[in-house]
Amino acid sequence: MLVDATYISAFLIGLLGGVHCVGMCGGIVGALTMSLPHSVRLQARPQLPYLIAYNAGRIASYTVAGMLVGGLGGLVVSLGNVHLMRRMFELLAGLFMILLGLYLADWWRGLSLLERVGGHVWQYFEPLGRRLLPVRNSGQALLLGLVWGWLPCGLVYSVLIWSMAAGNWWEGGMLMLSFGVGTLPNLLLMGVFAARVAALVRNTWTRRTAGGCVALFGLYYVLMASHSLSADAG
Q: pLDDT at residue 188 above 70?
A: yes
Residue-level pLDDT at 143: 92
Distance CA 13, CA 65 (A): 17
Residue-level pLDDT at 84: 82
Average pLDDT, the chain: 82
27 contact partners, CB below 8 Å, separation of at least 6: none
Question: What confidence tens digit (pLDDT) does each residue in 158-186 have?
Answer: 899 989 888 789 999 999 999 999 988 87
- This prediction has a pTM of 0.85
Distance CA 217, CA 214 (A): 5
